[in-house]
Amino acid sequence: MTASKNSSLESSAPVPANSTQNLKRKLKSEPTLDNHAPSSPRDTKPTKKYMPDLSVLDDANQEDYYIEPICPIPKAKKPKQPPQGAWTLDTKDILGPDSQHAYVQRWMKLCQQEATLDTKYVIVQNDGSRENLLRLLGLKNVFVKQLPNMPRPYVTRLVFDRKHESVALLKKATPPAEGEGGTDTKDEKKPIAGEDKGDLSYIVMGGCCYRPFPAQGFGEIAFMAISQNEQVRGYGTRLMAQTKERAKALGLKYLLTCADNNAVAYFKKQGFSKRITLEYEKWQGYIKDYDGVTLMECKLHENVDYLNIPAMLKAQKMCLVEKLKEISYSHIVFPGIDVKKRKGMQIADIPGFKHLFSRKLAMNAGTSGGALTGLGAPGTRGNSAMFAQRDPAALQALHKHLQSVLNQVKAHQNSWPFVEPVDPKESGALDYYDVIKNPMDLQTIQKRLDSGWYYVTKQIFLADLKRMTDNCLQYNGKGHYITELAQSLEKFFMQKL
């Protein structure tokens, strides 16, 4: 059997409205996935589900919102305490608003549609009732149009097979505008959104047909599709999550499917793998192997709420942050530093540095005779920046070398466009500082070198020179004569450094 989520989709026809009079029957609550009535001995008791707070979506002025984790998160037992003058960030502030994530936005929107009954997921079995037969007919239409390679009789046979069941995605039908449709609405009142007409005000917009094998502990997905005009909205992921929860309710541990080439990528995103871990003896003889398809498996975990993955991820992230508070200072905020006012400072004097690297500093102090050397011993690659700051003679020698290179760069025949900061009016580049956010020139580099504290390594000096030429390329583009001068100048100072 082939499961696919094709892109060429069409919506199914709505259920006829005039059949309301023939459907006066006494039914129990509808077998939805969140609270379904037992439709077969395989059904299990419904459990209390996590429900997101959808009220945050009602405030149009509130762009950012937060979701609650799926379970309570214990606080850090012994978090690192901030020193005097510093403060701590709450876990909520560290993670930021959940609305910044696209998957959270889609999930909240889908949950809101289900809460307002704009969409709903129902379990459909061929029990002979008119209501379910109409649903199965709608599912068959969707599958046939979405899976053009599947023969219509084959799809019809499996969808209406009593051993199969389906999770149908229903959407509330939009009432036609007044005067449209070619019928007299005075004689016959059509169902509109919000009316209590059972499923007569809904249309089938997708579904998943599968056959459970409770004794073997797995289910086989036969068909899965979403109508074309409802795709790329998260319905496919939500439908798969509903199917997984239904499979868990039936006591299934695995879901298997034979996916065609167009569906392999989709099923991978939904947690399916080409590696089959289910014992071969359990599914051998139950699933037919076809040419041109890939057998894929998804293992279901009892403790995972597939309908609320974003809330579960929020809980995991919060738990990780709380654990990090016990071993790191990532939650501590130190006051800012005005480096220019202080005319530079030692790296080890930066607030928070000694706390972040206290262990490494202690180890280095023991290997260097008690001197504070930073992240590595003097002369090592990781300590080059700090060691230049700690040795005045080395710093003086470095500045002397950098001044020599800068003098040669200034004297270069192609350096004239970069001697001073760009004057937009004089040069005609009126939008220069709108395009270039971090301007650089030789005059600015000279001032930084004269300060005596800015260039503590050759790499910082080289970075400013590179920024100067990169800005030229960004503003003027390739092939411009000023860009060619910048590239020539870059080759020159790269050789000198």
Catalytic residues: 220
**CB-CB contact of 321 with 94 (8 Å):** yes
Count CA atoms closer than 13 A to 464's CA, side-chain side: 21
Cα 454 to Cα 24, 289, 339, 341, 460, distances in angstroms: 85, 69, 10, 12, 8
Cβ-contact 203, 230 below 8 angstroms: no
Residue 156 CA to its chain's centroid (Å): 37
CB atoms within 10 A of CB 270: 20
Looking at 43-100, which runs of residues are DSSP E strands? 87-88
The C-alpha angle with vertex 35 and arms to 225 and 256, in degrees rounded to 5, equals 40
Q: Return the beta strands (E) in 420-470 as ranges.
A: none
In angstroms, the CA 201 to CA 191 distance is 5
Residue 166, SS3 per DSSP: strand
Tokens matching residue 49: 């589900």
Residue 119 contacts by C-beta under 8 Å, 6 or more apart in sequence? Answer: 110, 113, 169, 170, 171, 172, 205, 235
CB 441 within 8 A of CB 468: yes
The vertex-229 CA angle with 226 and 235, nearest 5°, equals: 40
Running DSSP on this structure, what letter comes out for residue 32? B
Q: Tell me which H or E stretch contains 249.
A: helix 235-249
